[in-house]
Structure 1
Amino acid sequence: AERCSIMLQTGMGTDELETKIVFGAEEPGAASTPQTSIRIKSGEGVAGTVLKTGNSIIVNDGHKDPLFKSFDNTADFEKTIKNLISVPLKIKDRVTGVINGVNKQNDEPFTEEDQRLLEALAQQAAMAVEHARLYELAITDGLTKLFIHRYFQGRLEEEMVRARRYHTACSLILFDIDHFKKFNDTYGHQQGDIVLIEVAKLVKQTIRETVDIPARYGGEEFTIILPETDAKGAHLVAERLRKTIEAHEFQGQEQALKVTVSLGIATFPDHASVKSVLIKKADMALYECKGRGRNCSFIYDDSLADKPQP
């Protein structure tokens, strides 16, 4: 096929597909590149019908087929569709996605043999997708969708080893929500969970998406691993996050609610060369924020070693 795409459910058990991967050669006369953010409801178009029925579909008269529905805003995209094949990704009898092929080479129609071959590939792809999904579930906090504590511990160890090997810095931010127990007592734990979810989203929006590693450390405590980032750079990130959270209005039952955070920072190798010590010093810096009135960030320094800790 000139072009192929993989579409997956937007969530487990949902009735909507989202395009995740599009690949194929850009050649004169080849199918135009579709938008990769396309979403299709169950029963809509060819792929949506495959999701709904769990059966493969071959369309050899292109966009003229009654099942065909264009979801791309590119003006001439549908006119380039000569034929297409769509097969389900299945785990047992559950459809988790769809693989699409557009325009068979040499303008030939798709055949039942093509369908059998693609279904065999789809079976392997579905297993790979499911394994990836299960792994993601295993390392992700169910509430905040950040990484879990155990994953954080392993990644921090890895990043410190990498920083040591390449002679770079690696910083750790440890932060919590100020007066969160009082917040829960006042507004209830359900409202508290909403705040935790929103804070996690703000963290993801603030950091480098594929570089930094955010995790829920426990309760209302969060961590962010910042590879190749010195203390000064980590402080900039911490302050940007602090100001973002301070300015954010959290949806309450009767009115918008506000929270603040305190953030402690420690950096390898400046402050520690061992993981447990780095975490401890970030925690000491966080505790210093509490003594300074909260809603601030602080980089660890040796003066904290003589101060009493909780």
Structure 2
Amino acid sequence: MTFGSKGANQPFDDADRYFLQQISAHSAVCLNTCLLYEKRQKEKEDLDKILQNLSLLYSIGKAMNYISDLKKLLQFILGQAIEITSAEKGSLMLYEMETDRLDIRVVAGLEDDAFQEKVNNNEIKCRSFKPGEGIAGRVFASAKPIVVNNIKEDDVFVDSDASYVRSIVCIPMVVYNDVIGVINVTNKRHGKDFTDEDVEMLKAVADQAAVAINKAQLWDMAVTDSLTGLYVRRYFMVKLQEELLRAERYNNILSIVMADLDRFKNINDTYG
């Protein structure tokens, strides 16, 4: 505390100094109390945020376990990634070993709903990327996330003007030390930058997503025929058991219609 000259050019005496010392001491106590309160409030807010994030991640992970359909799972994962980072749009890409490329499997947040639906239904083939190509390819090859809050400063990004992208976070999805794909979220809402917290939350979602996607892919391999893409007997037995339990639970009548394919044995004998 600093004081100017005393009125009428009078010097400060011992009484003045004692009074000012008392005021300074009380002020110091009050100020320290306020600082401690603000610190505790900040710690409480941080703890509440951590608990909120953990609760959100738990809910996301729990929901993933109940989705066996791969397409629905991918759409759910991407939707959650966009929501938790407050992004405008995003895409989810999976690695195809046969072509050695990253393919866009689902998109969300596009202004053209019809175009978005066609992409998600695989009616439109989007550009794919080789490992190391573009931001997604770099993330896949390095298994490390990339955050760019100003695309104009990164010459690796492809066609930023055409894609209306200002900023991007790209996170790898890794399961059993293998990268199976990447999640891209672009353009944080209200023109803001993506934060470290956004990246950490997205990494946590990506870790859960990788396990769930791998599980769904294994399930698809187990219940579909690689030659025809049709469901095999195992899928029929699982679904039959589900419907029997449903009919029993609701006391409904269950009927089954079975149709055989003419000369399908010839296909099996020829192509395995």
Interval of TM-score (by shorter of Structure 1 and Structure 2) = 0.5 to 0.7
Give the letter for the 1:150 counterpart: R
For 1:130, the equivalent position in structure 2 comes to 214
**Percent of aligned positions with the same letter in both sequences?**
35
Q: Distance in 2 between matches of 1:134 and 1:168?
A: 30
Give the letter for the 1:96 counterpart: I
Asked whether the equivalents of residues 101 and 130 of structure 2 are also in contact (C-alpha less than 8 Å), the reply is yes
Within the alignment, does 1:118 sit opposite 2:207 as a pair? no
Higher helix share goes to which structure?
2
For 1:246, the equivalent position in structure 2 comes to none
Higher strand share goes to which structure?
1
Within the alignment, does 1:65 sit opposite 2:154 as a pair? yes
Aligned partner (choices 167, 186, 189) of residue 102 of structure 1: 186
Q: Structure with the greater relative contact order (CA < 8 A, sep ≥ 6): 1 or 2?
A: 2
Segments of structure 2 that go 5 or more residues without pairing to the other structure are 1-86, 120-124
Q: Distance in 2 between matches of 1:89 and 1:107?
A: 26
Asked whether the equivalents of residues 93 and 182 of structure 2 are also in contact (C-alpha less than 8 Å), the reply is yes
Change (3 A) 1:3 1:179: closer
1:174 deviation in Å?
A: 0.9
Corresponding residue SS for 2:258: strand
Change (3 A) 1:14 1:117: farther
Within the alignment, does 1:46 sit opposite 2:135 as a pair? yes
Q: Distance in 2 between matches of 1:35 and 1:133?
A: 22
Q: Alignment RMSD, CA only? A: 3.6
Corresponding residue SS for 2:182: strand
1:141 deviation in Å?
A: 3.0
Within the alignment, does 1:2 sit opposite 2:88 as a pair? yes
For 1:55, the equivalent position in structure 2 comes to 144
1:64 deviation in Å?
A: 5.1
Aligned partner (choices 2, 16, 22) of residue 107 of structure 2: 22
1:3 deviation in Å?
A: 0.9
1:5 deviation in Å?
A: 1.6
- Comparing 153-162 with 100-109, greater Cα deviation is found at 153-162
For 1:175, the equivalent position in structure 2 comes to 261
Which of structures 1 and 2 has the bigger CA Rg? 2
Within the alignment, does 1:150 sit opposite 2:234 as a pair? yes
Name the TM-score, length of structure 2 as normaliser.
0.53
Q: Distance in 2 between matches of 1:175 and 1:81?
A: 50
1:176 deviation in Å?
A: 4.3
Q: Distance in 2 between matches of 1:156 and 1:96?
A: 32
Name the TM-score, length of structure 1 as normaliser.
0.47
